[in-house]
Amino acid sequence: MSKETLAAVSTALKVDSNRTETGLLPLFERLGWGEIKRKAGHGGKVEGFEERVPPGEDILSALGKQWWDMEPTPIDEASVRALSLLSKRPHSKQAFASEIALDPKELTRTLEYGEQARYLGHFNSLEGEEVIWTPLYWAYNTESVQQFLQKQNDSGMQAIGRLAEELSKYPGKPRETIDPPKAKILGSGIWWGFFPTGIVTDRQKKTHEYVFASTPQFEADPKSDIFEKARMIVSCLRHGQYSAEVTQIRYPSLLLQKMRTNQMKPHSYADVQYAILVLNGVVKLEPTSQWYGSSWRVVFIETPENELAADMAAQMIRGDTPLATTTEEAEARKVLTQGIYNYSAEQRKIKGASSIAATDEFERLVENVGKLQK
């Protein structure tokens, strides 16, 4: 990458380019994630950077070790443990203090830092009890979620946590397959926006609901939420797994891989199963004829956003926690690698920029230039 490209990436990620050169690149170099290219005879000024960033899982592991080696303070450590704890469910302040195991002074400072940086929050329940939670989760419906949580007693919150854990291990679970005793808390959680759902409508106009655990949301604009596209992809695959009219999907991970590489066989039910993906620009359908009649071929639309959404969908299907990101970050990654990352524990695949270029936008640009010339 040239220095200009580094500056472009920094701008996209809202990081000062000087900070990139003096802070981030040396860190990347120490971690073995790249090599700084310096101009000879010019005071060692940065000329470019050769990037070797690993898959996401390895990034988190390396940064975690780096952070631990820096000997974090009790409050630093407590903040990380608090986020891990509260990502499962909110806790009463008393239960939170017991789990974190801090003295009152350190607990107060941890909560103050968390509130100032907006990664911890609190509210009073209907019983007047103080409840601690993290606004980094369920950010779209903060008020609604708070109202929902306020109506739960401590055992109710534990039930929410157990259900969230179940859904995180099996994202996109069909609503009708969830145990009836959990129906009340599930229904109210869906209503308040606590548990996001994906909906697929079949030929008989019957809706099928696929439920997900709450995921970290760092972007307030739903149009920029890669998680939403990932949930759509998983919902469509789960629909084929549980409610397909002809043949049911046995291996959703394998089918997702075939979707991304355009190796899916034409199918007469594709226009129903993947309708929401067509509407949201993830795939397109091409009509084709087979021996049994008309069918559709599914074609994956390669964009940075769709590729990252598919990466997250693959992580969800495996039962892993997907990495948070936004459209802006996806664009930055495209610039960073002249392609995109496929974050997978098994492989890392980089595609050339030409194969993922936004061709529609480019064609419109050429068309507009032609009009100006006329």
Per-position DSSP letters for 90-108, written without gaps between them: -EEHHHHHHHHT--HHHHH
pLDDT at site 292 = 67
How far is the C-alpha of 25 from the C-alpha of 29, rounded, in Å? 6
Q: Which phi and psi (to 5°) does residue 229 adopt? A: -65, -40
Nearest one of 39, 36, 42, 48 to 8, comparing CA atoms: 48
pLDDT by residue, tens only, the chain of 374 residues: 888 888 877 877 778 888 888 888 898 898 888 899 888 766 678 888 888 878 766 787 888 888 889 898 888 888 988 988 888 888 888 889 998 888 888 889 999 988 888 888 888 877 788 889 887 777 666 778 888 888 888 888 888 888 988 888 899 999 999 988 888 889 888 888 788 888 888 888 888 999 988 766 544 444 556 678 888 999 999 998 998 777 778 889 999 999 999 998 888 888 888 999 998 889 999 988 776 678 889 999 988 778 888 888 998 888 876 665 555 555 555 554 433 333 332 222 322 223 333 334 444 444 444 444 44
Task: Report the C-alpha gap between 182 and 166 in whole angstroms.
Answer: 11
Contact 175, 210 (CB under 8 A): yes
Rounded distance between C-alpha atoms, residue 304 and residue 200, angstroms: 25
d(CA 135, CA 216): 9
Q: What pLDDT is recorded for position 339?
A: 34
User: What does the pLDDT read at residue 178?
Assistant: 92
The interaxial angle of helices 252-260 and 226-242, nearest 10 deg, is 120
Distances 2 to 18, 43, 48, 109, 334 between C-alpha atoms, Å:
14, 18, 4, 43, 15
Q: Report the DSSP pairing between strands 293-300 and 283-290.
A: antiparallel
pLDDT score of 346: 25
| Tokens standing for residue 113 | 């830092």
Write the DSSP string, 249-288: -S-HHHHHHHHHTT-PPPBTTHHHHTHHHHHTTSEEEEEE
74-86 and 104-116 helices cross at what angle (nearest 10)?
Answer: 70
Q: Which residues pair with 122 in a beta bridge?
A: 132
- The answer to whether residues 3 and 47 touch, using CB atoms and an 8 Å cutoff, is yes
Structure-token pair, residue 71? 């000997």
* C-alpha 88 chain-centroid distance: 16
